[in-house]
Amino acid sequence: MAAIPGVTRAELNFGASRLTVEGRFDPEAVIREGARHDIIARPEGETPVEQTFWQRHKRLLITGLSGTALLAGWIAKFTSTQSPFSIAFFLAAMVIGGAATALRAWFSLQKLRFDMNVLMTVAVIGAAAIGEWSEGAVVAFLYSVSNTLESYTMEKARQSIRELMSIAPREALVRRNGKKILLPVDEIRVGDIMIVRPGEKIAMDGRIVRGNSAVDQAAITGESIPVEKGVGDEVFAGTLNQEGAIEVEVTRLVNDTTIARIIHMVAEAQTRRAPSQAFVDRFAAVYTPVVLALAAVIVLLPPLALGQSWGPWIYRGLTLLVVSCPCALVVSTPVALVAAIGNAARNGVLIKGSIHLEEACALAVVAFDKTGTLTVGKPVVTDVIPTGGQDKRGLLALAASIELLSEHPLARAVVAKAGEMKLELSRVENFQAIAGKGARAEVAGRVYYMGSSRLFEEIGAPVSRIKPLLERLQEQGKTAMIVGTETETLGVVAVADQVRETSKNAVRELKRTGVRTALLTGDNAATAKAIAGQLGIDEFEADLLPENKVEAVKKLIEKYGKVAMVGDGINDAPALALATVGIAMGGAGTDVALETADIALMADDLSRLPFCIRLSKAAVRVIKQNVAFALIVKLSAVLLVFPGWLTLWLAILADMGASVLVTLNGVRLLRLKPHP
């Protein structure tokens, strides 16, 4: 591609079936050059032309024709004394089955690259040159079978990524100038109002401006249960509107939707080579020339130095070329990585590079932020404890009346709880927020206060008798607010951030896989201790500012090695960047989470974290199995070459079998489920 006039850079992403070409060039020249290399290229965004039966099944048909010619050659060889007929059929099998390989070998030789296509082509031509027509035909046929099977199984891995691309509709019903019109998504602008009926997919990211519905977000976040959505809530392209009709104001253009960014990042992830993949590539680059040199020694040394016959040694040299072909080794890693990253994306986990997938396998510690990660990030009332003669309902109604005009999150939680219990609130006058301490208000002509013990100590109210109660609530990780007057305390309302339902199971699953857990929070030590104890977290650090979290992560790395940091991707960005693997929560709704983290859990669902680590461990295990198996098969077969026990067709059968088996082993990762 780089030889095309105007092309400055060309990169083929094999896993994502994506060709990136930069520069000023003729697109038709790129398409023609791709065709020479058996690559069907088309401009991005262009609707693919429907392929003919031949184009769809080209590899299979070529392999079938080659096999038919091979079979005819054998029949002619065993039923006729006229060998030219059998040779003609064998030659046809070689040409049909090996033409594409020979063409690729020619392009490789022009760039002085001695790859597997060169080895196969030399083996086929060499077999014909020494009169082993049937052997050459078998090699060409079996290599064609190998390519067909590899193409089919690799396509299964790619399909998991391609499915993402077809999630969002290509058009949507939009209201413009008082009219409803059906528009292609490319023509929809930010601010347009989409009308989405029940049972339809949402075409663009946006915000609901009218209507309520349950939306199935599994395609984006991996959540199995539909999420209730109403006015003001965000919705994402590719999700399914299940119940009510809704109107959605578009907030992102088609190329900037969450699903578009996921597709782009998954495709980019395929180009970032993992350590194991880089090792295999380096090994193959050295291995192939060494094999060619060894084959030359086997062919030349015995006849020239020892005076032996040329024929058997040429045959052994060709056999060595075939059996040493590093097909299985080269394909062993990328197919596993493509399958794992595709499976993760389908289940709401965005892994932004195969290197992060491998790093996740070796994690010793997972450190969590508290608010918005282990907890919902929204405080709720947990306790209402009267201490001055009122009942619970009366105390809560008074507290909510005092806080009705306050904008503080804790005050909002108190008012919300009163609303849930349908309590009647009193009219308040002269409301005053007391910064950092609480609030003051007049209810029915009497002045009441609500806030911290420090506030009541300052106004001279008696709080000593309820100190043990306040300490007990604080030990439980709750924020205690006193309700009372200048002369008496009427009760205590306790508020706490709600722990996510998935947090405890996630921590337990992580510990089951041998990973330690840590809590890094800006909350006080009592709250941190309570949350850590409730969830079974191994260690915690409290009272941390964002810069302190960086130091805490650094200490964990020094103490344990590889550390993951899980946060909301905003105030935790520095710690996420420093950690071995940065993992962001709620990537579907947070731009910062998608951009900052190495891995993004698209839903606010920590259960996907143990799945991600299990998937990474499985991927690394499969890669090791594949590499070990490929090397053992190669070594065993090479040892059989020297005594002459290995034939050409057995060599290609061993190579083909190894390639197909490692590919199928990698594709197994597509079947790994989020829940064991």
CA–CA gap between residue 154 and residue 333 (Å, rounded) = 12
Name residue 531's amino acid: I
CA–CA gap between residue 137 and residue 128 (Å, rounded) = 9
CA–CA gap between residue 232 and residue 251 (Å, rounded) = 12
Name residue 45's amino acid: G
The CA-CA-CA angle for residues 42, 48, 53, to 5°, reads 110
CA–CA gap between residue 656 and residue 629 (Å, rounded) = 13
CB 218 within 8 A of CB 212: no
Tracing tokens 């007929």 back to the chain, one arrives at 85
Gap between the terminal Cα atoms of the chain: 45
Strands 234-235 and 179-184: unpaired
For the beta carbon of residue 434, count every other beta carbon within 10 angstroms: 15
DSSP state of 255: G
Interacting residues of 236 by C-beta distance below 8 A, sequence separation 6+: 202, 205, 217, 220, 257, 258, 259, 588
598 as an active site residue: the answer is no
Indicate left, alpha or beta for 575 from its phi (over 0: left) and psi (-120 to 50: alpha).
alpha
Going edge to edge, which strands form the sheet with 479-484? 375-386, 489-499, 479-484, 446-451, 438-443, 428-434
Interacting residues of 445 by C-beta distance below 8 A, sequence separation 6+: none
- Which of 512, 509, 511, 452 lies closest to 484, judged by CA? 452
Q: Which helix (H) or strand (E) holds 266?
A: helix 258-271
Interacting residues of 583 by C-beta distance below 8 A, sequence separation 6+: 366, 564, 565, 566, 567, 576, 597, 598, 599, 600, 601, 609, 612
CA–CA gap between residue 467 and residue 476 (Å, rounded) = 14
- φ/ψ of 401, rounded to 5, equals -65, -45
CA–CA gap between residue 155 and residue 153 (Å, rounded) = 5
- φ/ψ of 137, rounded to 5, equals -65, -40
Q: Is the Cα torsion angle 29, 31, 33, 36 positive or negative in sign? A: negative
Q: Which helix (H) or strand (E) holds 476?
A: none
CA–CA gap between residue 629 and residue 436 (Å, rounded) = 65
Helices (H), 476-542: 501-512, 525-535
For the record, the structure tokens of 457 come out as 């100590």
For every residue of 89-139, DSSP letters joined together read HHHHHHHHHHHHHHHHHHHHHHTT---HHHHHHHHHHHHHHTT-HHHHHHH
SS3 of residue 65 by DSSP:
helix
- Which of 571, 582, 578 lies closest to 545, judged by CA? 571
CA–CA gap between residue 587 and residue 250 (Å, rounded) = 19
Residue of 115, 205, 369, 523 marked active site: 369
Name residue 46's amino acid: E
As annotated, the active-site residues are 369
